[in-house]
Amino acid sequence: MNKVVTLICSAALGALELAKENDIVITDTAVVEVPCSGRVDEATILRTLRQGAQAVLVVGCLAGNCRFSTGNFEAHRNVDEAKRILEEIGLSPSRVEMVEVSSAQYMKLVEAMEMMADRAGELGPIRLLEGDP
């Protein structure tokens, strides 16, 4: 599995396309499109980490621009809850972040993805149980 899984709202997908058009390649990152960042709950985030991701980046549209009205606010709440749970079980909450971008803000997206890839490299794999590789 890639070090970072980026769960990106379909409304923000244009930023990723612009990055590709500008020949920007982000390594160690898998991108998964979701209909709305608000649909990414804390269970999804934690499951993604348990399945081998070292970090998760949730990408939503800009505040006030959600076609579902409150999706990005829900996403922030879910990301905060996932961070709280990680801290509670002794893992770094910095493994999970959220960023809001418009479809034109490809450099903001690229910077967030690169930051998470660097952070994942610093934090390394998650070892929950003794004997985990």
Determine contact, residues 66/60, Cβ cutoff 8 Å: yes
Q: What is the pLDDT of residue 69?
A: 80
Task: Kindly report the number of other CB atoms within 10 A of residue 31's CB atom.
Answer: 16
pTM of the model: 0.92
Q: pLDDT digit string (tens) for 72-98?
A: 899 999 999 999 999 999 999 999 999
Domain ranges of the chain: 4-14+21-121
- pLDDT tens sequence across 9-67: 998 999 999 999 999 888 789 999 999 999 999 999 999 999 999 999 999 999 888 88
> Encoding tokens for residue 131?
């004997």
How high is the pLDDT of residue 82? 98
